[in-house]
A and B are shown apart, each in its own frame.
Chain A
Amino acid sequence: DTGVSQDPRHKITKRGQNVTFRCDPISEHNRLYWYRQTLGQGPEFLTYFQNEAQLEKSRLLSDRFSAERPKGSFSTLEIQRTEQGDSAMYLCASSLDASGTYNEQFFGPGTRLTVL
């Protein structure tokens, strides 16, 4: 399968714990995006990378959220001191460089986080 993959698919944690999610983009894609989606809503943009550079992170929900893409390939999203309000689907997407008009983003299956 050469699509975007995410791991784990589901995560249940207790409030206050840290969690980390992984995203593996389509191999030739240099852009990688993280979104959060709550029930009944569209995805909400969090951050994105161009290769290993994080070009936009002001939309991260709080300083408890951080993302890395150290080698310009896979990325991790970490949430520290989780709260019940963090329960959501976390989606990753990748695309080729955005210079083209279409800049198609391909989404992964998401990681469903439940904070108890």
Chain B
Amino acid sequence: KNQVEQSPQSLIILEGKNCTLQCNYTVSPFSNLRWYKQDTGRGPVSLTIMTFSENTKSNGRYTATLDADTKQSSLHITASQLSDSASYICVVTSPIFNDMRFGAGTRLTVKP
């Protein structure tokens, strides 16, 4: 079972609307949690990164939240744009692992 679960698997919204993507994880102990944006055919690009002591982090129209007690994170996108169409991947790092654990991603499509 994957240690990082994302929902929904895919999402279609209209341009200008807001949306929220979810990430639940079981990775423990926990070091930090990242949200990446991956355009089709490209490598992931970091949007936000949070340690266990941070509850929220913003990057322009992207706002990530983290509840380390419930092991849940969300990524909120405000006033969506066509260029937001991409996969959004939640990644959790543990100090034990020498790598990061990736979710399968949420595929977001923004339509005009």
Residues of B within 8 A of A107 (CB): 43-45
The DSSP consensus for interface residues of chain B is: strand
Count contacts between A and B, CB distance < 8 Å. Answer: 55
Q: How far is the CA of A68 from the CA of B67 in the complex (A)?
A: 39
User: Would you call A11 an interface residue if the criterion is a C-beta within 8 Å of the partner chain's C-beta atoms?
Assistant: no
Q: How far is the CA of A93 from the CA of B99 in the complex (A)?
A: 11
Number of interface residues of B (CB under 8 A): 22
Q: How far is the CA of A107 from the CA of B91 in the complex (A)?
A: 13
Is the interface on chain A under 10, 10 to 19, 20 to 34, or 35 or more residues? 20 to 34
The interface-forming segment of B13-21, B71-79, B101-109 is B101-109
User: Would you call A7 an interface residue if the criterion is a C-beta within 8 Å of the partner chain's C-beta atoms?
Assistant: no
Given A42-B103, A104-B49, decide whether A110 and B43 contact each other with a Cβ distance below 8 A.
yes
- Known interface pairs A4-B43, A42-B103, A102-B49; 14 further A-B residue pairs with C-beta atoms within 8 A, sorted by A's residue number: A40-B105, A42-B4, A43-B44, A45-B100, A48-B99, A56-B98, A56-B99, A59-B99, A91-B44, A98-B98, A105-B100, A109-B43, A110-B41, A112-B41
Which 10 pairs across A and B sit closest by C-beta, in order of nearness? A107-B43, A42-B102, A45-B99, A56-B98, A42-B104, A107-B44, A43-B102, A42-B89, A41-B104, A109-B43
Q: List 13 A-B residue pairs with CB atoms under 8 Å apart, sorted by A's residue number.
A: A42-B91, A43-B102, A45-B99, A45-B100, A56-B99, A89-B41, A101-B31, A102-B49, A104-B49, A105-B46, A106-B46, A107-B43, A109-B42
